[in-house]
Amino acid sequence: MGLIWLNNYLKDQPVQKLDRSGKKEIKRLEKQLKLHKSDENSKAEAGCLEDIGFIFFNARMYREAVDYWKEALRVYQETNDRPSMAESFSNIGTAFRLMGELSQAARFYNKALVLDHEFNSSEGELKSLHNIGSTWLDLGENENALEIFNNAMELARTEKNGNWEALSLYRLGLVYHALNQYREAFRFYEEGLKISEKHHFLEMMTRCTCGLGQCYDILGEYSQAIPCYEDAIRGAQNLRDADLEMSIKISQAQMNIHLGLLDQGREIANQTADMLTESMTIQTQLALLRAKIYMIYNMRGKAVDLLDTAEKIAEKLPNGYYLCMVWFRKIDLEIESGQYGNALSILQRIQSRYPEGRSLMIDLKSALLLGQIHRGMNQDELALKARESAILKAQCLSSPRYLWRSHHSLGRYCHHQRRFESARDHYSTALKWIDRAASNLDPSLRSVFLHQKDRLQVYQDFIILQISTGHKEAAARILKRLNSDVLNRKIAHLFK
């Protein structure tokens, strides 16, 4: 009896007790086990040990499962049954992975791969490659994962195995996604979708479609992201995969909030909160989403409570990425309260967990926040350095939302320093990226997007700069084009 490949989500699965039927089945198998030992029937003995292991595994009692599978492995080693040894190594690796002991999981998966390559069919080898690659991905060892999934893709193509090829392409997309190389990720998701459609592999069709939506989203192609998320949600519902549906809805809600569709984002968040999941990743994502909504509504206490909960959950995840995302939210709250020393302390924890160069997204977010912190602490030269660094990182990311934020941040610094020409250049560049993102929206959504607080702040700063440097007519044209009552009320007196 083998284990199929696991989803990337590690689950917080508490130790369970065996139910009555489980205990009864184990007693029956233990009686058989004694008979097989007395008859020196090694193959039957190992089979009983494996079956008992699976009963414990299904009850999420992974330590006990490992103990029985190791006993089965011992029998296979004594009889030199190498194909069965490979399967036992794989099963033990999976149990360790679900316990969060990923280094141990990788060790057993690698042992399985050696034997699968030599004795088993390509199906076993592909399973082992994906188990190893997914473990590396869980650990944040993306370059190792990339190599493994490339090997899996080549083997799947050689064997003309369409389902494994689609899965390999999807997971290569996941790795490039984790590396923040979104155009490469898009390419693999798109290719994975084509293969999945050809073989009617609905799960991979759904996951690849979601991946495409996430890439469109981060690259500012919102009109393409919206239908991708909607199609992926329908796919997850057809699959009756609640975890997958929740994950997609969280991404959709985050995009809606970014676009200014707060009511829709909040509604999705409320729907998702009512769904049950054991995935620690999804629990953390949902807590982050809900905390963001509370922060928008200035409900600080509720946001803090959710972030504290998210932090406890994220601490159990292996690679620390989501823990850093929680800490970023906490830094936002500290900066809002003027507690720059506290914010800097949290940021230093992020930098120790994720040294520069390991994640472009974390480096970019850190640079943006560091610019605010140093500015708040009147450390202008350090603030300048951080904001210049943010622009370079945003350019590598090619995401409009981070490009305009980075240019706006540096523009405000230059404005404060009375370096008006530099400030004008950065404000102008920020507005170009905002306008580019808005151009990818339906006209009915474009106005909502442009009139969000953070986008209006860019327009406001640029208009004030233009007025203060004697360019009132240019400022008036910008204000008229935007047509914002809120901004008109705030700065109308400057035109008098």
Contacts of 181 (CB under 8 A, 6+ apart): none
Would 151 be classed as within a structural domain?
no
Give the pTM.
0.90
- Examine the domain organization and report whether 237 and 251 are in the same domain: yes
Beta-bridge partners for 11? 279
Would 387 be classed as within a structural domain?
yes
Confidence at 41, pLDDT banded by 50, 70, 90: low
- First-to-last CA distance in the chain? 81
Would 146 be classed as within a structural domain?
no
- Examine the domain organization and report whether 180 and 116 are in the same domain: no
Confidence at 4, pLDDT banded by 50, 70, 90: very low
- What are 72's two structure tokens? 């089965």
- What are 80's two structure tokens? 């030199």
- Examine the domain organization and report whether 20 and 94 are in the same domain: yes
Mean pLDDT for 179-183 is 96
At 467, the amino acid letter reads I
State the pLDDT at residue 493: 87
Q: Which of 249, 254, 216 is nearest to 232 (CA)?
A: 249
Provide DSSP, 179-218: TT-HHHHHHHHHHHHHHHHHTT-HHHHHHHHHHHHHHHHH
109-144 burial, b at 16+ Cβ within 10 Å, e below that, comes to: bebbbebbeeebebebbbbbbbbbbbbbbbbbbbeb
- Examine the domain organization and report whether 108 and 233 are in the same domain: no
- Examine the domain organization and report whether 267 and 299 are in the same domain: no
Q: Can you say whether the dihedral through the CA atoms of 272, 273, 275, 277 is positive or negative? A: positive
Structural domain span for residue 59: 1-139
Would 328 be classed as within a structural domain?
yes
Query: Residue 308: which CATH number?
Result: 1.25.40.10
- Examine the domain organization and report whether 135 and 186 are in the same domain: no
Would 103 be classed as within a structural domain?
yes
- Examine the domain organization and report whether 295 and 263 are in the same domain: no
- Examine the domain organization and report whether 270 and 286 are in the same domain: no
- Examine the domain organization and report whether 54 and 129 are in the same domain: yes
Would 156 be classed as within a structural domain?
no
Number of domains in the chain: 4
Lowest model confidence (mean pLDDT) among 2-6, 339-343, 370-374, 405-409 = 2-6
Contacts 24+ apart (CB under 8 A), 349-353: 350/324, 353/320, 353/323, 353/324
Of the candidates 337, 365, 398, which is a domain's last residue? 398
Q: Which of 77, 97, 78 is nearest to 87 (CA)?
A: 77
Q: Which of 366, 376, 309 is nearest to 339 (CA)?
A: 376
Would 88 be classed as within a structural domain?
yes
Is the predicted pLDDT of residue 112 greater than 50, yes or no? yes
Token look-up 């990226």 returns 433
Would 363 be classed as within a structural domain?
yes
- Examine the domain organization and report whether 116 and 16 are in the same domain: yes
Confidence at 3, pLDDT banded by 50, 70, 90: very low
- Examine the domain organization and report whether 261 and 203 are in the same domain: yes
